[in-house]
Structure 1
Amino acid sequence: MLRMKKIKQRINQINQIVQDIEQVKYAIGALEAPTVSSCSAVREFKVFSQSGEDGVIQWLIHNITIQSKRFIEFGVQNYTESNTRFLLMHDNWSGLIMDGSRANMDYVQQDNVCWMHDLKPITAFVTAENINALIRENGFDGKVGILSIDIDGNDYWVWKAIDCVEADIVICEYNSRFGSERAVTIPYDPGFYRTNAHSSNLYFGASIRALTHLGNKKGYALVYGNRIGSNLFFVRRDLLNDVVREKSIESCYVRAKYRQARDAEGRLMLLSIEEEEKLLEGLPLVDVSLDL
């Protein structure tokens, strides 16, 4: 009994440390946000996002007319690292988040962020077939401010399938290892799982040109690509202005330097960019440039 009591005390102490760290991160972000929103150019900063997405989002929402302060984000894991968490806390938006792991969504439901803010966590493995139903069933169809897609797989196909949402901003992960010249994506597989598809973990998603091509068809302009070469930002064409302007693929593409390749046992391989790209040679890809 004494041992269990000590374990519970230690868990409580750890949880308190985690909360304290989050408050420090939030406080720093709250100081950064006003300086970013008033800038004429994008300035990245990270609070809860993977890299500088928090800063890009703050810049965008203060420089275009937002229809609805609601967001949808899927592929969030346990939501401690995400594109919309700072937006939820700092700007008091409402959101729907989805992840395929029950454990991840249970974690979110126990997190302070869930009861302190208007956040709806849903356990769901997102596919092109179910995405519209998931959004409608949870009351987030129609106008939203941000749609954020990061599922490490069928990102292109799922965005293509979404027709129940009118988002002002779309954020989507791209695979820089596919280069900037080809408009390609992995073939659609509703059960796609990145590690099973190829042990390297490099075979997923779509190229920047494929996503920009899809965005154009849906009425969106590419306005930014983050500095590490992982996320693209699209804005509805009717919302563009003298500050938020369309950018070329060439100016937004970054040949990412971070290393992701894994060996068959799941261990990180410190390969060069060229070696990582070579691992993808010969794997099936779909050219979407003629998908009109």
Structure 2
Amino acid sequence: MFKSLDSNSDRLSDIQIEISCQRSEIRTLIEQNVIISDQSRAASLLALDSLIQRHPRYRDRRCVNAAYGQVYSQNNEDGIIAEIFARIGTDTRTFVEIAAGDGVENTTRLLLDLGWTGVWVEAGEIEGASIRSVMAAAICDGRLVYLQQKVDRDNVDGLIKGAIEKTPDYVSLDIDYNTSHIWSALETLKPRVICIEYNAHFPPTVDYEVPYDSERSWNGTTRFGASLKALERIGREANYSLVGCDIFGVNAFFVRSDLCDEDKFLAPFTAENHYEPPRFDLVQMRGHRRHAEF
């Protein structure tokens, strides 16, 4: 009897060791970007395409949420931005992107390729080194101004005004924690279009934004930024209309209200109408790898 128990115990120990080794191997493969669950992701993307095709909101020509197009962006922002400007036109063809990342993947790199000029703001040292390398030619000839700076609500307005002479057509804000407060601080900047990250964990009827703290950063939890309803309120107070969100539940898009009407965009311009739930499992590099050199 005791021998049998000992044998089972040894077998259980062997199984535990084997599982531990397998976990270690899988973790290593994930870290090496070998396993990305391609089959699962492909199935999810098919389900997403099916949702787009059958949901009446996405079939309305005025809806921008499911606009296709992704060259340098992460969540199909390239397609949505192109669709919005196709409807309202451009003026200065300039942009500002606050939290521009490494310069390989963001929402304005395609605009730069298309002849726009603008400003990137990024605080990260590693990201900044990448930008200086990848975008050296654009920085040298003045098409791109790069500011390695951490923004807060006290410095952001002056920082942007000092870096750009024209009113930009497009502004992107994605600093994770204090995003809504930075937007509120940019009250004198009146671009035609604003793309801003929202916290899709909150229901579309809930008006919530984290208390401002210049020293806080996102800790990987659901506590960050602002709900879509809070951004709708901030936008309305600044004379902007919410015209859509990317289908992955990451970014919201606002158009200056004097350029927005119900013929161009899907009304009502509310969080309840344009909210997309978090589909973060699909926010991975899709398609071909990004082109690093400018």
**TM-score in terms of structure 1 length:** 0.69
Higher relative contact order, chain-length normalized (CA < 8 Å, sep 6+)? 2
1:243-258 residue pairs with structure 2 within 5 A?
243-246=264-267, 247-258=269-280
- Structure 1 101/112 Cα, relative in aligned 2: closer, same or farther at 3 Å? closer
The structure that is strand-richer by fraction is 1
- Structure 1 114/63 Cα, relative in aligned 2: closer, same or farther at 3 Å? farther
Residue by residue over 1:227-252, the C-alpha shift from the partner in whole angstroms, topping out at 9 and shown as x without a partner, is 01111000011111422354332221
Measure the CA separation in 1 of the matches of 2:126 and 2:82.
30
The answer for the alignment partner of 2:131 in structure 1 is 108
Residue by residue over 1:20-64, the C-alpha shift from the partner in whole angstroms, topping out at 9 and shown as x without a partner, is xxxxxxxxxxxxxxxxxxx76532221111111100011111110
Moved more, 131-140 or 79-88: 131-140
1:58-97 residue pairs with structure 2 within 5 A?
58-89=82-113, 91-97=114-120
Give the letter aligned to residue 212 of structure 1: E
**TM-score in terms of structure 2 length:** 0.69
- The structure with the largest alpha-carbon Rg is 2
Measure the CA separation in 1 of the matches of 2:252 and 2:179.
12
From 229, 240, 249, the counterpart of 2:260: 240
The Cα RMSD (Å) is 2.0
Measure the CA separation in 2 of the matches of 1:161 and 1:117.
27
From 161, 164, 178, the counterpart of 1:136: 161
Secondary structure of the residue that 2:172 maps to in structure 1? strand
The answer for the alignment partner of 2:174 in structure 1 is 150
Secondary structure of the residue that 2:81 maps to in structure 1? helix
Secondary structure of the residue that 1:210 maps to in structure 2? helix
1:261-272 residue pairs with structure 2 within 5 A?
none
Number of aligned positions between the proteins: 216
Secondary structure of the residue that 1:120 maps to in structure 2? strand
1:1-292 residue pairs with structure 2 within 5 A?
42=64, 43-89=67-113, 91-112=114-135, 114-115=137-138, 118-140=143-165, 142-195=166-219, 200-241=220-261, 242-246=263-267, 247-258=269-280
- Structure 1 86/105 Cα, relative in aligned 2: closer, same or farther at 3 Å? same
Q: Which runs of 5+ in 2 are unaligned?
A: 1-60, 283-294
Secondary structure of the residue that 1:144 maps to in structure 2? coil
Identity %: 27
